[in-house]
Amino acid sequence: MSVAAGSTPADAAGNGRGGAMLATEGLTKIFGGLVAVDDVSFTVPRSSIASIIGPNGAGKTTFFNMLTGLYKPSYGKVLFDGRDVTGKRPDLITAAGVARTFQNIRLFGTMTAAENVVVGRHTHQKGSIFGAIFRPPYVRKAEKEGDAEARELLTYVGIPTRLHDQLASALSYGDQRRVEIKKITKIIVRAKREKKKRK
């Protein structure tokens, strides 16, 4: 994969309202002697939708794996919201607000649609062994809030209320995809809220 798209990656340096939300600078991944991704500079402006299109074997999945921390780039940088996240662990990149879905749907089939969306809170959920065992009021309150927020998000993407408590495995393909998108959206929303609290 070798691409240059959008505005210049240097635009990503400034966070705030201007600049890019996500950018790569010369991102390269080499497996042995095989160059899977070659010098990709790509910018996603704030409040926009971008796509990466290419044939099988072009390096798209490898590129996304570098963006989300599953692979460390051989060369280059990944900038998210003005911060260098190159080579960081996937959990730290997710906590910053970068999440992904996969080509194959990855829901918990024996959990309901609402429960699957609640899972998206895990990176920002405050929990402990004590809380899990004794379930004090603050734990029950957080769970109740999470469930209400999940149902609101499901309704927003067009999943009828009657399906919120349906097992994910029993949902149609389209509804399963909507649930998965809401699951990762919840991660991003929570990350933004945490960031605002810290300011």
Residues forming CATH 3.40.50.300 domain(s) in the chain: 4-96
pLDDT average, residue stretch 148-153: 89
Taking CA atoms, 45 is separated from 15, 35, 39, 86, in Å, by: 11, 27, 20, 19
Record the tokens describing residue 172, joined without a space.
Answer: 């149609």
Higher pLDDT, 12 or 76: 76
pLDDT at residue 195, rounded to an integer = 61
pLDDT digits (tens, 9 = 90+) for 103-124: 778 899 999 999 988 887 666 6
pTM score of the predicted model? 0.65
Q: Does residue 104 contact residue 176 with C-beta atoms inside 8 Å? A: no
pLDDT average, residue stretch 62-69: 95
Record the tokens describing residue 46, joined without a space.
Answer: 């704030």
Record the tokens describing residue 64, joined without a space.
Answer: 């996304």
Segment among 20-24, 76-80, 103-107 with least mean pLDDT: 103-107
Architecture of domain 4-96: 3-Layer(aba) Sandwich (3.40)
Spatial strand order in the sheet of 4-5: 4-5, 34-45, 20-31, 75-80, 83-84
> Positive or negative, the Cα torsion across 44, 49, 53, 57?
positive
pLDDT at residue 4, rounded to an integer = 45
Q: What is the largest CA-CA distance in the chain?
A: 56
pLDDT at 37 over 60: yes
Report the relative pairing of strands 20-31 and 34-45 from DSSP bridges.
antiparallel
Q: In terms of Cα–Cα distance, which of 96, 144, 83 is closest to 124? A: 96
